[in-house]
Amino acid sequence: MAKTSLIEDAHEVARAVALIELGARMQVLESELSLSRDRLIRLYREVKSESPPKGMLPSSADWYMTWQANIHASLFYNTYSFLKNEGCCSHVDALTKGYRLYKEHCAYGCIEPQLDLTRAWTLVRFFNGGILQLSPCRRCGGKFVGYKHDLPGHKVCAICQPPSRAGKKVRGTEAGASAPAPMLN
């Protein structure tokens, strides 16, 4: 029995370290893990060499409905959902693996990630709470984040139909000009 609890404890510590490295806030750690608050704070200090940040978590589903945030949220949630359902990952493992894949995808495309881990975790909570759902796009067939109680209809995702001002000049520079050029070796 003692070995089982030590192994489970080691798994919890490994999950905590993974979440901390990805930028999880204390509220996320306390909600998802069975470790004590004091132990999580000590782990956070050891991993990040600083105290955990304080402050409120995002609390509005409206943030995910802006066109860029919706594209990023849809990418993350589809990845998370696949890992959880098809990959048979636990919630926490699907969250960490899905977020890593999301960040890798952004890095590969030379785009700045719109979601931090806390926003990704909050997105999953909105889905679990019945506030958001994946809606099919009538043009591409992909599934994107939408409100659960929107009227059913033929919706189009933000990739197929970006807003008219998307990609226009912003404050004298091109919107995508700040992205670093890929490095060639």
pLDDT, tens digit (0-9, with 9 covering 90-100), for 97-151: 999 999 999 999 999 999 999 999 999 999 999 999 999 999 998 999 999 988 7
> Is residue 125 in some structural domain?
yes
> Is residue 146 in some structural domain?
no
88 is in an annotated binding site: no
* Shared domain check, 118 and 70: yes
> Is residue 148 in some structural domain?
no
Report yes or no on whether pTM surpasses 0.75.
yes
The structural domain count of the chain equals 2
140 is in an annotated binding site: yes
Q: 16 phi and psi, to 5 degrees?
A: -60, -45
* Shared domain check, 74 and 44: no
> Is residue 35 in some structural domain?
yes
157 is in an annotated binding site: yes
* Shared domain check, 125 and 65: yes
CA 180 – CA 165 distance, rounded (Å)? 22
> Is residue 173 in some structural domain?
no
Beta strands 132-136 and 143-147, pairing class? antiparallel
Domain containing residue 91: 61-130
CA 138 – CA 132 distance, rounded (Å)? 18
The predicted structure's pLDDT at residue 122: 96
Structure tokens that stand for 185 in this block: 């070796």
Tens digits of residue pLDDT in 45-85: 999 999 998 888 878 999 999 999 999 999 999 999 999 99
> Is residue 181 in some structural domain?
no
* pLDDT greater than 60 at residue 169: no
